[in-house]
Amino acid sequence: MNILKGNKAYIVILFVNLMFTFKIIAESYLMIDFNLLPLIAVFTISVIGYFLFDFIFKKSIHKIIFLLSIITIGLAYIFYFGLKTDLYFQVSNNIVAINEAVKSASVTYYEQYELLFMWFIPLLVFLFLLFASKGITNLVLIYSMVVMILFWYLGFPKVVKGNLGIFTFIGIMSFGINNCIASLRKLKKSNPNMVINSGVLSLFFLIPALLISIVTTKLPQEYKGNYIGIANGKLINTFGPVKINLIKSTYGLEASGYSSDIKKLGGPITVDDKLFLTVKSDKSEYLRGSIKDNYNGFAWSKNKEDYSLKVKQGYSVLTSKKFLSKFLYNQNESEMVIYPEKNKNSSIFSPIYTYNVQLDKGEVYYDDIPTFVADLSKAKSYSINYYNTLEAQAFENCSELEWLNERIGTDEGNSEGFTQKYGNYLQVPSSITQRTRDLLESIAPFGESRYNSISKIKEYLDKNYPYTTSVSEVPENQDFVDNFLFTEKKGYCVYFATAATILCRMQGIPARYVEGFKMPGSKDSDGLYKVTNKEAHAWCEVLVDPAMDLWTTLEVTPAAVNAIITPILPVVATPETKTSTEPVNKVKEVSKDNDKTESSINIGSYKLSKGNIFIAIFVVIITLIVAKILFAVAQTKKILKGTSIIPYYHYCIKRLKRIGINKPANLGDLEYVETINDSELKEILKEVVIIVYDEFYGKKSLDNNNRSNSYKRLEAYIKSNENKSKYFIKKYFFF
């Protein structure tokens, strides 16, 4: 294939530039599982679609009218119907999630961008190819440059500078090839006998491009990008405002009889057995109500109350199932239905791995952890869909799970990105005493692995501090953790969870404080769990895998039976199976087949099994073959019906070259024809060459009928000298 050949060369240029800009996006937004294959497939289909579009609509005005009509219909659909569709909701939720992740320097996921890419790639391909057909080929370079400048000013100068050499190389090569193609087309029209070695010509672009791109990376790059702070966070207010009263009424242990002083932890408590929740579930779980990250030495609070994401029925707030297989063993999808008692609480209580919440009345909102809130004043029940693992273990027994030990031992604590991302979960107040630091050093010396440090902290608290609700008031101005460890030396869940969270943070392990309920171990006579204030509980969560933002439940309170550790996955809006709330008296039959597993890839809202993947690949291949044949037929018709004989002459030379009959570069056209021994072929070519000369010198042109007859004779000759399969392949695939 000639790299400087018209459309083929430009398509390569377009592909390289588009993939480069996607690379910039992926690196800037810390995209996990960035996958080029779907993008390549969409690009290929878009190119085929454009040429079919070009084949159908011959006139530019028809193309413009068609495109404007499609855009108008699309915009009308979005504004009048799209706001109510699941697709719009999914895209808007993904945009908000990306915005939140960028603000907190968190990772994002390829799935969040997939629908956006699927929309924008065809649009960009159509626009760039349409402009290229009019000779405006360098528009794609302007696009790449705009992307680089945009991300510089959005606050990603390191990414831009890191890709500056690649950008320079691609830009020079693209510009050179584009302009060379235009010049060659003009020369070919005026001089059909001109022979150009495209390989040598390409070196004139390749060598300078390499040298300049290398030099560019060595130049001083001291300037910093500017972040557009005005735009930061605006998307949040667009897609899901939450009433302030919902945030103010989220659950805290004070709602279950613990200390009502939100500015001070601890103190003696008396907890009643008043019913708080009724739960229909297969097993007992930890139910999270609120998660707090800021400790001031006396109490816990939450730095950011941002429940801007809205739960949509049928969409997951967690990553897709393909991620779960990397973290868990024997994971299952589970469902529970919760019947809240009438109270002033707005928290939706949910287990770890919750991926969908459905309220019988009203909307549900969630944050980036995720925890959930809703107006429960009129709600009778809500259903929870979540993942659970059959190997839920107490932390001290998890050494058998090699994946956990390996992940939790990963040390990224010294990196700038790690500190920026998890700074809230590493915060330790100045009230922490030196004796607390000395104690931690004796428990888990600095340099211990994360896994060993957490295990030793848990073991120390479990062996040295008894559980009791009969404690003294914490003295004024004494750090709560210091009081627990050295003065009180006993306590309840709040004491243990707070101490564990802070001790882990002091070891450089991100940790957060959780309040909610630990469901009882047994059901009542109706097969339901009755959750009372006595089951109100506090525990700790620690970071296991920074790369995947994977968290783990750490239970350190001695009285908490069946402590479990289970990873918690980050927020991504992806489609999942729709769920519905069930009545209490309805028994749901669930069919389980744990021995049967099937590999699958989740692409957006579609699951492709291995069999379907092969079918999809087969369909794509057949589509490409058909498109190539149609393209070759269209080009041939264009040559035969054109006003000039010269393109047809080049076609003849090229077709003969495919069967081993080459025209020497040092011979003129008529001289070459005279050297041909086959009389039939000589007659065909001689007629064409004579008319080429006549046209070139202004005499006449071969009419279409004669050209068509000449074409049929040439193809018949070639076909007689090759078997049918070779003839077909060379005619349509090496045209």
Q: What is the pLDDT of residue 217?
A: 64
Q: What is the pLDDT of residue 383?
A: 92
* Alpha carbon distance 6, 735 (integer Å): 13
Q: What is the pLDDT of residue 600?
A: 37
Q: What is the pLDDT of residue 278?
A: 94
Quick one: how far is CA 405 from the chain centroid? 27
For the stretch 206-226, pLDDT in tens is 777 677 767 766 655 555 444
What is the SS3 assignment for 148?
A: helix
For the stretch 592-610, pLDDT in tens is 343 333 333 333 333 444 4
Q: What is the pLDDT of residue 417?
A: 64
- Paired residues of 644 in beta bridges: none
Q: Which long-range contacts (CB under 8 A, 24 or more apart) does 424-428 make?
A: 424/293, 424/294, 424/303, 425/293, 425/505, 425/510, 425/511, 425/512, 425/543, 426/505, 426/508, 426/510, 427/293, 427/294, 427/295, 427/505, 428/295, 428/502, 428/505, 428/506
The answer to whether 556 and 497 are in contact (CB under 8 A) is yes
Q: Is 514 exposed, middle or buried (0-12, 13-18, 19+ CB in 10 A)?
A: buried
pTM (two decimals): 0.53
Q: What is the pLDDT of residue 572?
A: 46
> Would you state the structure tokens that stand for residue 370, as one six-digit string?
């995720």
Q: What is the pLDDT of residue 202?
A: 64
Looking up tokens 């050295």, which residue turns up? 486
User: With the C-alpha atoms ordered 325, 330, 333, 339, is the resulting torsion angle positive or negative?
Assistant: negative
End-to-end CA distance of the chain: 10
Q: Smallest Cα–Cα separation from 20: which of 209, 128, 224, 160?
A: 160
Q: What is the pLDDT of residue 596?
A: 38
* Alpha carbon distance 606, 576 (integer Å): 9
> Would you state the structure tokens that stand for residue 411, as one six-digit string?
């040390």
DSSP secondary structure string, 397-459? GGGG-HHHHHHHT---TTSHHHHHHHGGGT---TT--HHHHHHHHHHS-TT--HHHHHHHHHH
> Would you state the structure tokens that stand for residue 67, as one six-digit string?
């495109």
Q: Vertex 439, ends 427 and 559: CA angle to 5°?
A: 80
* Alpha carbon distance 385, 372 (integer Å): 13
Q: 219: how many CB neighbours lie within 10 A of its CB?
A: 7
- Paired residues of 539 in beta bridges: 514
Q: Which residues of the chain have pLDDT under 70?
A: 1-7, 57-63, 74-75, 77-90, 100-101, 103-106, 184-205, 209, 213, 216-247, 313-316, 318-331, 389-417, 547-548, 559-620, 698-704, 733-735
Quick one: how far is CA 173 from the chain centroid? 30
Domain boundaries, the chain: 6-218, 240-582+601-607, 612-733
* Alpha carbon distance 266, 490 (integer Å): 11
The answer to whether 170 and 144 are in contact (CB under 8 A) is yes
What contacts 562, CB < 8 A, 6 or more positions away? 284, 394, 521
* Alpha carbon distance 542, 509 (integer Å): 7
> Would you state the structure tokens that stand for residue 417, as one six-digit string?
């990105």
Q: Smallest Cα–Cα separation from 543: which of 505, 516, 495?
A: 505
